[in-house]
A and B are shown apart, each in its own frame.
Chain A
Amino acid sequence: MNPVLAGILAVLGLTLVKATPLIYAALGGVLSERSGVVNIGLEGIMIAGAFTAVVVSGLSGSPLVGALAGVLAGAGVAALLAFAATRLGVDQIVAGTGLNIAALAAAAFGLVLIYHQPGASREVPAFGHAGENMLILLAFLAAAALHVVLTRTPWGLHVRACGEDPSAAEAAGIDALRTRFTAVVIGGAIAALGGVYLSLAELDLYSDGMTAGRGFIALAAVIFGRWTPFGATGAALFFGFFAALQYSLQRAGVPSELMQALPYLAALVALAGFAGRVRAPAADGVPYVRQ
C-alpha cells in the first residue's frame, strides 16, 4: 500500500480508538445535562465502569458479563449523584467533584483488597479486536439512538422540558424529579461503557488513573458539541483526532502539552461564545425544588 495512505489510515484508525471512550462519556453527559443535571462526575463514573468490569470479568471469566457489571456500576454511581441532585437539592457540581475523588480512591483501595497490589490489576479476559470494533461501532449507534430518543420520543421531550424549565414541565404533568433521575442514571450507564472500553477493549486490566481526565474532556465535548448527541460525537472525534496526531506532531516540534490542552481550550472558547452561539439548557445545573 502507498505509505502516505497507510499513514492516514493509521491516524484515522487511532482517532476512532481514542474517540470512542470520549463519545460514550460525552453521550452520557448530554443526556444528563439535557435533563438539567450537570454531570461533573463523568470521570468517576468511567472509573467505576472500568474497574468493576475488570473485577467481574476476572471472576466470571466472561468479558461480556464484566462489561454488563461495569455498566451497572456506572448506573449505580450515577444514581447516587442523581439522588443527591434531584431529591436532596444539592449542588450537583460540588457533589460531582466529591464523586470523582471518591471513585478514584475506591478503585485504588479495591486494587489492594482484591489483587493485593497497588497500581494495577492483573490481566483478565478481555474483548480483543473483534469486540473492540463492535464497541466502536456501538458508540456511533448509541449517538444516533440518543438523537432519536431526545428528538422523536415523548420521554426525550420530557427530558428536554426538564432541562429547560422543570416548573413548566411539572405543570404539564411531567414528574421532573423522576425524569431527571432516570436521565442521569441512563447517562451514567452509557458513560460507564467508555470506562469499560478502556479497561476491557483497549487493554485487559485496570490501572490507577487510566481514565486520565477523559471524563473532563468528555464534558468539554458536550459543551463544544452544543449539548447534542451528534455535536458531542463530532467534538469527541475532533479531540480523538488530535490525541491520535499527538505523537506525530510532537516529532514535528509541536509541544505535546499544547495538544493535550486543546480540548480544554476549545471548550473555554465555546463557553465564552466565541465559536458561534452556544446555549446550555436553560435549567442546566439548577436544582429543582417542588414548591
Chain B
Amino acid sequence: MPYAFVRGRAFRDIVIVLVLVFGVGSIAMLLAHVSPLVAFGALFDGAFGTREEVAETLVQATNLLFPALGIAVAFRAGLFNIGAEGQLILGGFAAGWLGAQLPLPWYLAIPMVLVAGALAGGVWGAIPGFLRARFGANEVIATLMLNVVAVLLATYLVNGPLALPGSGASETPSLPHAAQLPDLVADSRLTWAFPIALGLAFVLRWMLQRTVFGYELRAAGDAPEAAKRAGIDLRRTAFVAMALSGAIAGLGGATIVAGELHRFNTGLSPGYGFIAIAVALVGNLDPLWIIVASLAFGVLQSGGIAMQAEAGVPRDVVALVTGLVIIALAGRRVVAARRST
C-alpha cells in the first residue's frame, strides 16, 4: 500500500493549472459566444482595474487563505479535512454571536471575537479528529457530514435559542465598532485580516519545518508506520492536527464576520472552504506557496463577478475551473488513504 504523501512538483502543477484556467476558461467563453480576450480582459480588469478592485481581490484571497492553511495542516498530517466550510461557518457564528454583545474596548473585543471563532472551528475540527483517534472513523466522511450539520446548527442557533434582540432572519445584530477589524484600505472591505493571514502562513511554515510538533505531524502524514515505530502517538497527532486545522478555518470565519460583514449571516461563505481545497493543493500544501495560490484564486473570485457583468460570461466558469483543478491535482498525488492508527 502506498503510504507516502508524494507531493507534486510545483512547476508541473502550475502548468496544469494554467492550462486548465486558460484552456477550459477559453472554451467556456467561446461557448458563451464571447471572445476569450474580452472575457479575460474583463476578469483581470475587474480584479486589478482600480484601487478598490485590487483591495477586493485581496479580500477574496484572505477569505481563501485561512481555510486553505487549515486544510494544509490536516493534509500534511495525512488527514483529509474536507470540513473547512463547516468549521469556517461555525467560527463565523461564534464570532458574530459573541461580538454583537461585547461592551468592551477594541483591544479586548477584537482578540476575543477572533479567539471565539478559532475555538468554535477548533471544536468542529476536533470532533472528527476524536472520532478518528478513538474509533478509527474515516475523517473524510465525518467532515463531509459535519459540513452540512454545521450550516444547520448555525441556522438553528441564530434563529432559535441563541437569537439576539435586534437580529434579522438568519443573522446576528451588527457588531459594535470596537469589535470590528480596522480597515486597511479606506472604502474597501480589506482589513487587518489580510496581514493576520499572511503572518499565520509564516508561523505555520515555521511550525511545520522547525518544531517537534510539526515534525511529528509531517511524519504521521508521510510515513505513519515509521512514525508509529519511532514512538509518535498517531492518535494524539490526528486529534491535535484536526483541531488545529478547524481552528484556523474558524479564525477565517471570524475575520469575515469581524472584518467584512460586521455581523454573522448563514450565507457568509460562497464555498470558501471547498475552493480552499484547490488553493491548498495548488499551493503544494506549503504555507508560503499557499499565499501565492490564494492570490491567484482571489483574482478569479473577484474578477469573475466583473467577467459576468462586463462580458456576459456566467461566473460559474470560475467554479467549473476550480473543480477541475482539484480533480487534476488530486490526480497527481498518491496519498495514504488508511493510516494505521
Q: Which residues of A contact B (CB under 8 A)?
A: 38, 40, 80, 84, 88-95, 97-106, 108-109, 112-113, 118, 213, 216, 219-220, 223, 255, 257-258, 260-261, 264-265, 267-268, 271-273, 280, 285-287, 289
Contacts and interface: CB of A to CB of B under 8 A. Distances in A.
A257 B135 contact: no
B185 interface: no
Given A219-B144, A257-B152, A273-B137, A103 B323 contact: yes
B183 interface: no
Contacts of B137: 268, 271-273
Given A109-B314, A257-B156, A287-B2, A89 B334 contact: yes
Nearest to B333: A91
Contacts, number: 158
Q: Dominant SS at the B interface?
A: helix
B330 A271 contact: no
A98 B141 contact: no
Q: Which 3 A-B pairs have the closest CB atoms?
A: A102-B323, A98-B326, A101-B323
A108 B314 contact: yes
B153 to A, nearest CB: 7
A272 B324 CA distance: 32
Given A95-B331, A272-B137, A286-B1, A255 B160 contact: yes
B335 A91 contact: yes
B32 interface: yes
A241 B63 CA distance: 38
Contacts of A280: 138
Nearest to B135: A272
Interface in B216-243: none
27 contacts: A84-B327, A90-B332, A91-B335, A92-B337, A93-B82, A93-B140, A94-B281, A98-B326, A98-B330, A99-B327, A102-B320, A102-B322, A102-B326, A104-B323, A106-B320, A108-B314, A109-B28, A109-B316, A109-B317, A112-B314, A219-B144, A220-B145, A223-B141, A264-B145, A264-B149, A285-B138, A286-B338
Nearest to A108: B316
A216 B148 contact: yes
Contacts of B318: 105
A94 B326 contact: yes
Contacts of B337: 91-92, 285-287
B31 interface: yes
B160 to A, nearest CB: 6
A264 B148 contact: yes
Contacts of A99: 323, 327
Contacts of B114: none
Interface string B135-176: 101101110111011001101100010000000000000000
A258 B324 CA distance: 34
B319 interface: yes
A183 to B, nearest CB: 17
B109 interface: no
Contacts of A98: 277-278, 322-328, 330
A219 to B, nearest CB: 7
B80 interface: yes
A170 to B, nearest CB: 14
Contacts of A105: 316-320, 322-323
Contacts of A264: 145-146, 148-149
Given A109-B28, A257-B155, A286-B338, A97 B82 contact: yes
A50 B330 CA distance: 26
A108 B322 CA distance: 14
A91 B131 contact: no
A289 B2 contact: yes
Interface string B255-269: 000000000000000
Contacts of B314: 108-109, 112, 118
Interface in B177-221: none
Contacts of A213: 148
B27 to A, nearest CB: 11
B8 to A, nearest CB: 11
Nearest to A266: B145
